[in-house]
Structure 1
């Protein structure tokens, strides 16, 4: 289907926004009136630029507060509308968005609103344009798409139709099913936005927290299915008000936006009978990953991490035959230490490897979703990986799932075999700290390329502010990737990343690591006093936890014991054991960890 994006979604001047939209691959744009009037290019110049870029100009918006008013006010509104229609004609735009009145409406009457829309339609028609009437979620009288359609029906004018906006429908919990009762030729425009589940006034929610499809909590698949069931064949257009996107590179945001529409079309096609709407874009069917293959840490000097891994029972399996890279493993957990092209870099999570059922399908899907390819020099004797770069810069690799040791491990020589199990089973989760400007983009990347689904977000209080956490995972929990967004007062390096390993005996592993000289992340005595009171643990059990700096959590389904290492560079390790059906991450213990890490980083002590 034809894709479009409102210029309000992007940062920069109107000219920059048009260039970014065209470069990303959009078919058209809707012009946000403030973008035009703030610029120094005439409507004719904007029209010519769009033509050169291969973009259609699909909508001019918004025209506000016209209907539901007394006659004297409406007379002036007609004058204002005529001026807007004249500008739209100069731009070559045939559809103008008219929002339901939120400020000046004084007459709560469908018949009055319909009569005034009919007269506005007459003026619009004289300029060769039509109006798409939209029920704003905070409209004074008309805040429901069903009432907006009733008013348009009463207006009964060829130049008057409706605009359906997913935010205004779904934010109020309105059922989109009755959209199917609207004739396709009366749906003049469709605007799409996702949003997180928030409890706040709907105007602020709309102005600051809209997201691109796939990043929020709205059921856009059902919403779009209802619209397309009518036979609507106009653009799928994005209208996203978001403080982050208005501050970031418009070229990046435009690609991000088109990825969301591509993913959404595929979801809608999959949710309906095959061939139902052949104009929808579909993606290569790639099943979600089944296991972590490895995590790569990169630094100019990885020796400190090597010492840490040795204390934790990992075995050095060898150095790569062509690169300054070593492999360490324990059970099915593999850590790659990379010193290649890492001058002046401290240890950090550089890459995550995933095992997938069909690597070729994942590669094709990533390409369709415009995921940037991660470059990896590969020689003839080495196993090729599928590769993409996530929005935060982390590289993701995927290889065919292995039943046993993956083939690429044979590229490492000179190591020693794992003589006895250390108690580590596998990688439990990889926690990737996100810059504030890429967090939503990374959610969409992991959801669209790998089929991960988001858990409900959480907020963790830390010494410098709230840390927002969003876990992306497979349904079975084989892949878990928490995304943590640091407070804005910190830069990206202000919150360390970490890799967590599942264990068969976390207490025994901690004891052996202590014997080898491991410096645990110290936990305050206050925590253990609190722990005993909260969960009713026995004195001996609490003493054992305290002696090894272990943390504890419990849910109705089981309990959880875990510990952290100190941070090396910008990465640390966590070792976890899940008992019963515990499926969480010890979230209530995160403030304790954050406070201890801040003290360990050298902040002033009393």
Structure 2
């Protein structure tokens, strides 16, 4: 299993330019590029510079992260999100990245599950139509908070099945599985083709339904049963990387390179302890 870095882990302390250099220096295989960080990068740099970096580096782009809260939005807001999709589709074509994460909306009130499914599928189909020429892909990420409209693996998987398009798949995130007690056994039913991204992280010993992003910790430093999750994911045949994604303010206070270095060391240790081969 290769290792990727998600820029949320250095969200408040670094830039895309620096994260690329530090991830390359510390032997990462992939990076998930935050869309806000990409836009900042393009103020002083060009897409061609980014393309040349990846052309001459070991590290490669894994995804763009993320189009957030794309459901239950007024058309004017959603049209701006479509513009962001066009941007990452265009940049992705140049740098060899065909995947963007999409995150459902929070705090939608008393809306039925049928309506949530209908809305989510409608908006996903709009994204698919927009990117039909490029076959750009969309990874639906459920968020394990009670007030997120899609907060379990069960719900996200149901929608992906109903969309039934090979350009729409799942983000499987260890924290979000834990945070709302998702049914891990469901991973036995999911095919490798339906898992587009795997996020590795851990969590403090805070109850499901109460825990939040800032209580994520390095893989192996918390209470999540990473062994069970990783082995279930691998049993599907999924052979993608484990991408480190944390939103912990304490880690944002570290020097970016130290944070990136620690993340790699912690993740490698966990994978090797579980006798999962770390690919180079």
Query: TM-score if structure 2 supplies the norm length?
Result: 0.86
Task: Provide the alpha-carbon RMSD of the alignment.
Answer: 2.6
Deviation at 1:64, TM superposition (A): 1.1
d(CA) in 2 for partners of 1:168, 1:29 = 20
Aligned partner (choices 11, 14, 21) of residue 12 of structure 1: 14
Deviations 1:27-57 (A, max 9, x none): 1111112222223223332232233231100
Equivalent residue number for residue 573 of structure 1? none
Deviation at 1:68, TM superposition (A): 4.5
Question: Where does structure 1 lack aligned partners over 5 or more consecutive residues?
Answer: 270-276, 283-606
Larger Rg: 1
Equivalent residue number for residue 140 of structure 1? 148
Distance 1:181 1:34, change over 3 A: same
Deviation at 1:61, TM superposition (A): 0.5
Indicate if the aligned counterparts of 1:98 and 1:131 stay in contact, CA closer than 8 A.
yes
Equivalent residue number for residue 191 of structure 2? 183
Indicate if the aligned counterparts of 1:69 and 1:104 stay in contact, CA closer than 8 A.
no
Q: Choose 131-140 or 186-195, whichever is displaced more.
A: 131-140
Equivalent residue number for residue 46 of structure 1? 50
Deviation at 1:259, TM superposition (A): 1.5
Distance 1:83 1:168, change over 3 A: same
Matched, 1:248 2:250: no
User: Secondary structure of the equivalent of 2:126?
Assistant: helix
Distance 1:127 1:102, change over 3 A: farther
Matched, 1:281 2:273: no
More helix by proportion, 1 or 2? 2
Distance 1:44 1:72, change over 3 A: same
Indicate if the aligned counterparts of 1:2 and 1:236 stay in contact, CA closer than 8 A.
yes
Equivalent residue number for residue 170 of structure 2? 162
Aligned partner (choices 78, 86, 94) of residue 98 of structure 2: 94
For 1:538-577, list aligned pairs within 5 A. none
For 1:579-594, list aligned pairs within 5 A. none
Query: TM-score if structure 1 supplies the norm length?
Result: 0.42
User: Secondary structure of the equivalent of 2:63?
Assistant: strand
d(CA) in 2 for partners of 1:73, 1:237 = 29
More strand by proportion, 1 or 2? 1
Distance 1:229 1:85, change over 3 A: same
Question: Where does structure 2 lack aligned partners over 5 or more consecutive residues?
Answer: none
For 1:142-291, list aligned pairs within 5 A. 142-198=150-206, 205-206=212-213, 208-269=214-275, 280-281=277-278
Indicate if the aligned counterparts of 1:221 and 1:267 stay in contact, CA closer than 8 A.
no
Q: Choose 37-46 or 16-25, whichever is displaced more.
A: 37-46
d(CA) in 1 for partners of 2:206, 2:47 = 38
Indicate if the aligned counterparts of 1:60 and 1:96 stay in contact, CA closer than 8 A.
yes
Equivalent residue number for residue 68 of structure 2? 64
d(CA) in 2 for partners of 1:200, 1:148 = 18
Deviations 1:425-457 (A, max 9, x none): xxxxxxxxxxxxxxxxxxxxxxxxxxxxxxxxx
Equivalent residue number for residue 2 of structure 1? 2
Indicate if the aligned counterparts of 1:62 and 1:97 stay in contact, CA closer than 8 A.
yes
